[in-house]
Amino acid sequence: MHHGSVLLIEFGAIVLCLGLLAAFAARFSISPIPFYLLAGLAFGQGGVLDLETSKEFVEAGAEIGVILLLFTLGLEYTAQELVGTLRSSALTGVIDLALNAAPGVAVAFILGWGPVAALVMGGVTYVTSSGITAKVMGDLGWLGNRETPVVLSLLVFEDLTMAAYLPILTTMLAGVGLASGSVSLAIAAATVTVVLIVALRYGRFVEKLVHSDSDEVLLLKVLGLTVLVAGVAQELQVSAAVGAFLVGIALSGPLAHTARDLLNPLKDLFAAVFFVFFGLQTDPTDLLPVAGVALALAVAGIVTKALTGWIAGARAGLGVAARIRTGAAMIPRGEFNIVIAGLALGVTGIDPRLGPLAAAYVLILAVTGPLAARAAEPLAKWVVSRRAGGTPSHR
C-alpha cells in the first residue's frame, strides 16, 4: 500500500477513535484524558496494533498540542492578575508546592533514580490539571461558590511555578555542566523576564499586531505568533511550552476571548494527539511493575491536595464544607503532568520506568479526581452536620 495512503488511514483511524472515546467520556461526565492515554498504549509498542507509518506525524502534532495547551492556559490570565496572585497567594502556593512535590521527589530517591528524576517526579506529582478542575467545577455548579477564587489562585500560582520550573528542568535534562547550565538558566530567566515585561507594559501593542476583524486572519496571526515564539523560546533554552504560555498572557480582553474560541477546536485535537503520543511511547507491559508505586503516589496525592485545600480555605476564612470542596477540586492530574514526564522520555540517565509510572499515576488521578469532587459535596454536608449536632449546612 502507498505510504501516503497508509498515513491517512492510520491518522484518520486515530482521530476517529479519539472522537468515539471523547463521546464515551462525555456521556459519563468524566475527563477523556485517561482514554486518550489508553488509546496510545493500545496503538504503541507492545499494544494490540503498532502504528509505524504515522508515528512521526503524530509526534509533530503532539508538540503542537503542548504549545496550544499552554497558550490557551495563558489566555486565562492577564499579566497583572498573575503578579497580583503571586503577591497574595505566595504562602499557600509554597505550601501547595512543598506538600505535593514531596511524594514524587521521595519516590524517585527511594527507587534510586537520582536528583534529576526527582526533579521530574516532583513536578509530576505537584501540579493540578487546570482543564479537568475547571470542567469538574463547572459541571458541579461550584463556579459561584466562595472557594472558587481560592482554587483559581492556587492554579495560577502553579502555572507561575511551572513557568520557572520548566526552563530549569529542560536544562537539567540536557545534562550540561555546571558552567553551561548556569548560562542556560540565565538565558532562560532573561527570556521569561523580557516576555513578562512586554506582556505587562506593551501588551496592547501585541494585541494591535494580531488584531483583525476577520476570524481567519486572527487565527493565522495568533497561531503563527504562538508557534514562532515557542520555537524561539526553545532555541533560547526555554521550554516551547513556557514561550506559548507567555504569549497567552500577553493577550487579554475581548481579543483573548475570541482567540480562545478560534483555537479551542485545534487545541482539543492536538492535545488529544499529544496524549496518544505519550501513550505510544509507553509499553503497556511496563505499567504493571509500577502499578503499586503509582497507586501509593495517587493516594498520597489525594491526601496532600486535600490538605492543601484545607489550609488554603482556612487562610481565606472559608467554612468546613468549602475547604473540603477546595481540596477535592485540586486532586485531578492530567495534561501538565504528562507534559513534564514527556520531557524526560528517552533522556540518557533517566530510568525508563519513569514514563510508565507517570502514565499510571495520571490515569488513576484523572479518573478518581472528578469522582472525589462529586463525593466531596455529600461528605462536606455530613461533616458540617456532625459539627453542628445533626443540622445540615451548605456553607
Q: Give the HSE-up count for residue 362: Cα atoms under 13 Å, Cβ half-sphere.
A: 35
Question: For 17-31, 37-51, 380-394, which range has the lowest pLDDT when averaged over its residues?
Answer: 380-394
Mean pLDDT, to the nearest integer, of 343-348?
78
Mark out the alpha helices in the chain (DSSP H runs).
Answer: 3-27, 33-43, 55-75, 79-88, 90-110, 115-126, 130-139, 148-173, 178-210, 215-235, 240-250, 253-280, 287-315, 320-329, 335-344, 354-387
Q: What kind and span of H or E run contains 393?
A: none
Q: pLDDT class for 371, splitting at 50, 70, 90? A: confident
pLDDT tens-digit map of 286-334: 888 999 999 999 999 999 999 999 999 999 888 888 999 999 999 988 8
Mean pLDDT, to the nearest integer, of 95-100?
95
Domains of the chain: 63-387 (1.20.1530.20)
Q: Does residue 202 have a pLDDT over 80?
A: no
Q: pLDDT class for 394, splitting at 50, 70, 90? A: very low
The C-alpha cell at 144 is 459561584
What pLDDT does residue 390 have? 55
Sign of CA dihedral 317, 322, 328, 333: negative
Answer yes or no: are the C-beta atoms of 230 and 240 closer than 8 Å: yes
Average pLDDT, the chain: 81
pLDDT above 70 covers what percent of the chain?
83
Give the amino acid at 314. Answer: A
Higher per-residue confidence, 341 vs 390: 341
What pLDDT does residue 238 have? 63
Mean pLDDT, to the nearest integer, of 107-113?
94
Measured in degrees and rounded to the nearest 5, phi and psi for residue 54 equal: -95, 5
What pLDDT does residue 271 have? 81
Q: Does residue 8 have a pLDDT over 50?
A: yes
Measured in degrees and rounded to the nearest 5, phi and psi for residue 60 equal: -65, -40
What pLDDT does residue 53 have? 63
Mean pLDDT, to the nearest integer, of 345-367?
86
Mean pLDDT, to the nearest integer, of 35-42?
81
